[in-house]
Each structure stands twice: as C-alpha cells, then as structure tokens.
Amino acid sequence: MPRKRSEASIEAGKKNLIPFQSEEEAKRKGRNGGIKSGETRRAKRNLQETIKMLMDMPATGTTKASLKQLGIPEEDQTNMAMFVARLYAMALGGNLKAGELLAQFGGLTQDEIRKDNEDKRKNEESKARIAAINANLGNDMSVTSGDDEGDVIIYVPKIDGVKEWNEEDNVEDSERGEG
C-alpha cells in the first residue's frame, strides 16, 4: 500500500513537473509510453508461457528417479510434480513459507478453509433443525433418498384417509404390467 503523502509534499511534486512544450511532444511521449507498455506486457506473457512450458515438461534423470521413488505415476512425472514434491519436503522440514505456498497450490488458502468450515457449520445446523422439526412433528413423515448426501428433504403431513407413499407407488403402470 502506498504511503500517505502530506499536502506540502504533493505541492512540491507538482512544482517539479515540466509541462510539454507542444502538443506533438505530448503525443510522441504518450505513444512511446504505450509502445513500452505493450513490450512489457508481451514480455510478461512470454515469461509466463515459458514457465508453464518448463513445468509441463517430463522429468528426466535424477528428478524422474526421485518422483518414481515417491510413487508418482510415470505419466505425471513432470517438472511441476518435482517442484511440488520439493515444496512438500521443505514444508515437512519446517519451512512455513513453503507450507503456505503448497497449501495455496492445493486450494487450501485461509479463505477456502474458512468457507469450507462455514459450509460444514451450516450443514450441521440444517441437520439439527430437521431433527428438531421431526421431533416436534411426530405424526408427519419425511421423504429422503436415505444417503444424506445433499438430499432435498420434503416434509409431508399425514392426512387422514390418504395412504402413505412408498417405492412401489413410483413405478409406472406399464412397468407393473397394467394398462
């Protein structure tokens, strides 16, 4: 974050500005700045592409042997895998920065962990509410698929004179041999 500057400092900086002598000079300097910006952007993109290419290359020599010893499948033995393995070894050795970087690569940033914990908490709260509703509505029934994995739970009150739903009620007439 940039440091705060005093009013006096800002005014002194404005006095150091030299205005352009002509409109042509302003255009020329603006054009040159745009060209330089484009060159910098292309260089950065090329660097990123080069890093990606190097990381995706298959491991060779001692790197490949190390990855094989770690049990990494041959098709996954890349320079990136060795990089991650090295980060892992450094983290185990107590290097906190390596551990943070490894966690970030794995999608385990503090925000991700916080979000996962929040989701788990909400899920537990929902289960507790459902249990409380079931306890209070003893004469009602709930319908779920039974595995509790992301189910939508539907509460249907019992109505006198209407039979309860069961799996056989869901079978089409043609499948039963009727109609």
pLDDT tens for residues 40-54? 988 888 888 988 898
- My answer on whether 131 and 100 are in the same domain is no
What is the predicted pLDDT for the residue at 127? 86
pLDDT surpassing 60 at residue 178: no
Q: Confidence band (pLDDT; 50, 70, 90) for 90?
A: very high
H or E element that contains 107: none
In a domain, 14, yes or no: no
pLDDT single digits (tens) 62-75: 888 888 888 989 88
What is the predicted pLDDT for the residue at 156? 64
In a domain, 3, yes or no: no
- My answer on whether 34 and 106 are in the same domain is yes
What range does the domain containing 60 cover?
A: 23-110
DSSP letter string, 82-103: HHHHHHHHHHHTT-HHHHHHHH
Q: How many domains does the chain have?
A: 2
Cβ contacts of 78 within 8 Å, gap of 6 or more: 55, 56, 57, 58, 59
- My answer on whether 148 and 82 are in the same domain is no
- My answer on whether 63 and 86 are in the same domain is yes
Does the predicted TM-score (pTM) go above 0.85? no
Q: Is 10 helix (H, G, I), strand (E, B) or coil?
A: helix
